[in-house]
């Protein structure tokens, strides 16, 4: 990474001291930065990173992160609900949002941007820090879980071995299982599945109504998988209640 930083330098510092020069220096660097170059054209990470680095207003930067990062979207929900853990695993979002473009541009010119480039990779989860498939599956589930409206429509879910919850945006359980495999999230069949409804902002009801899988009733496994995923993404799982539907006992 150090060689890439140094090879991307060009022009004297004074010639690019204004905002336009900083933007140009960063964009020129990105053209030769291997982790960025490896991103497919049109990928969320590539598009959002460019938007983020071009933005000046904090709201624009936040929108770029919202578009790119399911984890950032989920943690934004936790913050609104008042369940964002103070002791959550370290995340790069606050540090990145406070990063001034001028600081990044100067570090690129001086060849000292290694830590800042690593920060970009952690926040946008590419290069050396891709999202593991199990985390990607759980985040897919949590995005739909937290988008439920109180007393609104239910969502379908399934539970995979090793406690991985997954959802498919309204797909049947069979379609969900096929999508899990086609998206490269893993193999095999879910252990069980059913539906979840939101009763209050932090109270949910679930069942084990799916007949697509024959793993047997595992209400505690479902409950623990959901709560563990909430905690792993920075939420206070102790404040979330999941009740088994009475008819599902």
CATH at 144: 3.50.20
3-state SS, residue 46 = helix
**For 81-86, what is the mean pLDDT?**
95
Percent above pLDDT 90 for the chain: 67
Coarse DSSP helix, strand, coil percentages of the chain, rounded to the nearest 5 percent = 55, 10, 35
Percent of the chain having pLDDT more than 70? 90
pTM (2 d.p.): 0.85
Say whether pLDDT at 98 is over 90: yes
Q: Which among 17, 232, 48 is positioned nearest to 125, based on CA atoms?
A: 48
Residue 144 and residue 103 share a domain: no
Specify the number of domains making up the chain.
2
In this prediction, residue 9 has a pLDDT band, given cuts at 50, 70 and 90, of very low
| CA-closest candidate to residue 170, choices 184, 156, 152 | 156
Domain, as residue range, for 207 = 133-248
- One domain for residues 150 and 113: no
Residue-level pLDDT at 2: 47
DSSP-assigned beta bridge partners for residue 166: 158
DSSP structure class, residue 100: -
Residue 46 in this model has a pLDDT that exceeds 60: yes
Instruction: Please indicate, yes or no, whether residues 51 and 147 belong to a single structural domain of this protein.
Output: no
Within 8 A by CB and 6+ apart from 46, the residues are: 36, 39, 40
Q: Please say whether the beta carbons of 108 and 25 come within 8 A.
A: yes
Is the pLDDT at 5 greater than 80? The verdict is: no
The more confidently predicted of residues 185 and 6 is 185
């Amino acid at each position: 990474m150090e060689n890439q930083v140094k090879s991307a330098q060009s022009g004297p510092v004074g010639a690019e001291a204004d905002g336009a020069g900083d933007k140009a220096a960063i964009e020129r660097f990105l053209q030769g930065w291997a982790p960025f170059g490896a991103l497919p054209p049109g990928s969320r990470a590539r598009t959002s990173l460019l938007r983020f680095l071009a933005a000046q207003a904090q709201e624009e930067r936040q929108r770029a992160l919202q578009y790119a990062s399911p984890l950032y979207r989920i943690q934004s929900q936790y913050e609104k609900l008042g369940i964002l853990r103070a002791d959550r695993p370290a995340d790069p979002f606050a540090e990145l949002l406070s990063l001034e473009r001028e600081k990044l541009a100067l570090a690129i010119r001086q060849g000292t941007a290694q830590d800042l480039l690593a920060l970009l990779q952690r926040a946008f989860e590419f290069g050396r820090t891709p999202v593991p498939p199990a985390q990607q599956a759980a985040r897919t589930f949590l995005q739909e879980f937290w988008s439920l409206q109180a007393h609104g429509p239910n969502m379908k879910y399934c539970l995979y071995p090793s406690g991985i919850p997954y959802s498919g945006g309204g797909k049947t359980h069979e379609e969900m299982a096929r999508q899990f495999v086609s998206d490269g999230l893993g193999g095999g069949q879910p252990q069980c599945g059913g539906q979840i409804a939101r009763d209050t902002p932090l109270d949910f009801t679930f069942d084990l109504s799916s007949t697509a899988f024959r793993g047997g009733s595992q209400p505690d496994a479902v409950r623990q998988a959901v709560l563990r995923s909430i905690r792993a993404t920075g939420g206070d799982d102790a404040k979330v209640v999941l009740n088994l539907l009475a008819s599902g006992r």
